[in-house]
Amino acid sequence: MASDLLTIAASGTNVARSALNVTAQNIANASTEGYVRRDLRTAEVAAAGGMGRVNDISLSGSTVAEVHRNADSFLQSEVRRTGSDLARANAELSGLKNIESSLEQTGAFDSIVNLEASLQQLSSDPTNSSQRSAVLASASTLANTLNITSSALDATAQGLQSDAGAHVDEANGIGSDLARLNLKLANAGPNNSDRPSLLDQRDQLLEKLSGYSAIGTTFASDGTVAVTLGTNPPRSFVQGGTSATLGMAVAANGTLSFAVDGQATDPGSGNLAGAASALTEVDATRTRLDQLASNLATTFNTAQAAGVDASGAPGKPMFTGTTAGTIKLALQSGQDFATAPAGAPAGSRDTSNLDALRQSLSSLDPAGTYNNLLFDVSSKVSGRQVTQSALDTIASSAQAALQQQSGVNLDNEATNLIRYQQAFQASGRAMQVASDIFNTLLGIGR
Amino acid sequence: MISLSTSAFYDRSTQQLTSLRDKAASLQQQISTGERLERSSDDPVAAARLRMLSRSEALAKVDTRSSQVAETNLTMSDDTLSSITDVINRARELAVQGSSETLNDDQRKAIGAEIQSLHDNLVTLANSRDPQGNALFGGEGGGMAYTLNGGTVTFTGTTNVTPIEIGDGQTVTPALTGPEVFNFNGPNGATDLFSVLSNLAAALNAGGSTATAGSKDALGQLDSGLDKVTTAQTMIGTRLNWVDVMSNRRIANADRVAQEKSDVGGADIGVTISKLQETMTVLEASQSSFARLANLSLFSILR
């Protein structure tokens, strides 16, 4: 079946117009998040000649075979995996930095040193009332800074917990969106014009979801996806048109645990995992801080009980409370501080009790303990920073590889515009030729 | 060569410019504060070391104040001991006079009266107070070192003095107690300066051979007493020397700590400024190349 020149040229203009449309679509979506560059795949239309006319020329122009979506599932899964690791590192690092700031910026270390210094100063002149007051003032400052440090840790923990809660909600939202998309994808035929944009949405949701937790994906040929969430073991999260519910529980010590439809799992990566490990670190830090506060209170109270104050009366407890959050100075006046040993008269300058206190303080070494605590946290921050920047590089090169393959480059699109415009003009020219030939034929015999 | 998509190009450029700007800001802060570390995690080891160095600086300041206290107390003790020596020397002169048999009883009484007032001076000196208002020779007691009761002088302080810390775990005892200055073993056994003087005054008042015998007896005792006081002065001198040695040591230590602090945590201004310059050059180059690359679109050429 032979086709005429006009039809061939018309199909060419159609194809070129479609290609121009695709190019314009690419340009319009150059900065749309999650948009995957489309290509027009064309196919030649050529029928074989009829019976006995095998060698006839039977060209019928070209047609649009497919609007191709330049997605590479391997690169996309790499972006998800590396992005998930990076999200974990980012969340953990920011939590750790907050812990570091809580410990460092409240000046608890300086308060400890000031208390040590004021005790040392007092030992050279134990009956000096201004130096006794200085000891009490620095003890009160220390108790206050420990309170502030503790509430800063609380705030860090609450921030991490509420972020994680919001992320769990978002992950559940993504789960149900994915389930709906699965239904739409199953209904949309392979050549439905909605399909590429549905697939874009699907991939974008998967990438978002991987920011919260480690995920596993299995794609069916119709584009639907089955998603598992977490590791050790992974739990089925989205299957066909149904999605499970991710739940989060906050333990008494502030640490997090996760379950999908009641079945425990570990996020493995993503910012939920980062928040969980930062909260574990908050808990460990708080335990050490509380221990320090409790030891300080015990040391001072024991020493007070063993001595007499400036009026010769037995010393009263110096601190109340046994945690960093509750420790509080109980003494009212510097005269209540017991520097002299039991049995010493009022106004005694005997400092044996103060010396014993300083002895037990130096073996408790609160400054060294706090310094170590701060060192441990800050070296974790510094180590995680190295990891984070490595993961950042890995994630951005995975992203770049994907972008290179699926992103829109305006220069390429400009080239395509010209190319398809020329193709359109050329096909138009072919129609002109067809018309000329027709006119020539009509003119025969005039 | 990776051909970036347009949005990736913009994202990446923004990221690079931001990180360069952050780096420049951080270097600028290092220059203006003179410190290399903004937070502990910038260099955890150095930060931990810096904290311990500041701690030893803070405690060394207390040591400096304590050693000033010790020095003042010791100097005051020294001055007081000199005055006590003067009293003893005057009493000795008077005892020499009193031992003379050519004096009549009235003259002896006059000498006895002077001895009595020397005795009272001695009690006043023994009750000297240090700048903190405590009895200089009273040990750890809160009140007077000596009380005068019906002519009898009794030591009412304690015989302990708490040593003061003056750094590096070293201590100095900032004062002597009364018995260390005034009590001694004379030719007739253990006694103290107060009873020697009051006995002498009593003997001179009694007149006659009691006065001459008493004066001769007192001479020997006063010599032993003077020995004790000069020994005490030597002890004070040694302690003052010790405080001095420790002060020098502390100054040297403070220099070392300051040096180490600046080595560990200080920003090397020269290096930092040249780093900042380098960063600024790169930043400016990136900005201008970004502007050019962003303009370099085929669309701006195609008309």
Q: How far apart are CA A49 and CA A269, in angstroms?
A: 61
Q: How far apart are CA A444 and CA A176, in angstroms?
A: 71
Q: How far apart are CA B225 and CA B84, in angstroms?
A: 10
Share of chain A above pLDDT 70, in %: 96
pLDDT over 70 at A209, yes or no: yes
Could you tell me the two tokens for A76? 């996309």
Q: How far apart are CA A9 and CA A13, in angstroms?
A: 6
* Cβ <8 Å between A128 and B59: no
DSSP string, chain B: -----HHHHHHHHHHHHHHHHHHHHHHHHHHHH-BS-SSGGGSHHHHHHHHHHHHHHHHHHHHHHHHHHHHHHHHHHHHHHHHHHHHHHHHHHHHHHHT-TTS-HHHHHHHHHHHHHHHHHHHHHHT-B-TTSSBTTSTT-SS-SEEEETTEEEE-S-S--PPEE-STT-EE-----HHHHHEEEETTEEEEHHHHHHHHHHHHHH-HHHHHHHHHHHHHHHHHHHHHHHHHHHHHHHHHHHHHHHHHHHHHHHHHHHHHHHHHHB--HHHHHHHHHHHHHHHHHHHHHHHHHHH--HHHH--
Q: How far apart are CA B284 and CA B276, in angstroms?
A: 12
pLDDT over 90 at A189, yes or no: no
Please report the pLDDT score of residue A197 as a whole number: 86
Q: Which residues pair with B154 in a beta bridge?
A: B147
DSSP string, A426-438: HHHHHHHHHHHHH
pTM of the model: 0.80
Asked if the C-beta of B131 comes within 8 angstroms of chain A's C-beta atoms, the answer is: no
Higher pLDDT, A209 or B157: A209
Could you tell me the two tokens for A409? 């480059």
Across the range B184-213, mean pLDDT stands at 87
Cβ neighbours, 10 Å, residue A215? 29
Tokens 């221990």, residue located: A291
Mutate which: B140, B164, B177, vs A, most A CBs within 10 A: B140
B224 min Cα distance to partner chain A (Å): 31
Please report the pLDDT score of residue A399 as a whole number: 86
Please report the pLDDT score of residue B1 as a whole number: 37
* Cβ <8 Å between A124 and B164: yes
Q: Is A267 exposed, middle or buried (CB count within 10 Å of its CB: 0-12, 13-18, 19+)?
A: buried
| Residue A24 three-state SS | helix
Across the interface, of B44, B139, B174, the residue whose CB is closest to A375 is B44
Given a contact cutoff of 8 angstroms between Cβ atoms, the answer to whether B198 and B182 are in contact is no
* Cβ <8 Å between B42 and A371: no
Per-residue pLDDT band for A48 (boundaries 50, 70, 90) equals low
A324 min Cα distance to partner chain B (Å): 21
Mean pLDDT of chain A: 89
Asked if the C-beta of B293 comes within 8 angstroms of chain A's C-beta atoms, the answer is: no
Please report the pLDDT score of residue A194 as a whole number: 79
The dihedral over CA atoms of A22, A23, A25, A26, expressed in degrees to the nearest 10, equals 120
Q: How far apart are CA B40 and CA A208, in angstroms?
A: 33
* Cβ <8 Å between A117 and B160: no
Could you tell me the two tokens for B244? 């001095």
A107 min Cα distance to partner chain B (Å): 11
pLDDT over 80 at A355, yes or no: yes
Q: How far apart are CA A377 and CA B40, in angstroms?
A: 9
Instruction: Pinpoint the alpha helices (H) of A106-229.
Output: 108-124, 129-187, 195-212
| Residue A17 three-state SS | helix
Across the interface, of A110, A351, A372, the residue whose CB is closest to B162 is A351
Stated length of chain B: 303
The dihedral over CA atoms of B273, B274, B277, B283, expressed in degrees to the nearest 10, equals -110
Cβ neighbours, 10 Å, residue A281? 21
* pLDDT tens-digit series, residues A138-176: 999 999 999 999 999 999 999 999 999 999 999 999 999
Q: How far apart are CA A249 and CA A259, in angstroms?
A: 8
Contacts of A240 (CB under 8 A, 6+ apart): A179, A182, A183, A186, A224, A226
pLDDT over 60 at B2, yes or no: no
B242 min Cα distance to partner chain A (Å): 17
Asked if the C-beta of B300 comes within 8 angstroms of chain A's C-beta atoms, the answer is: no
Across the interface, of A113, A374, A403, the residue whose CB is closest to B5 is A403
Tell me which chain B residue has its CA closest to the CA of residue A127.
Answer: B142
pLDDT over 70 at A54, yes or no: no
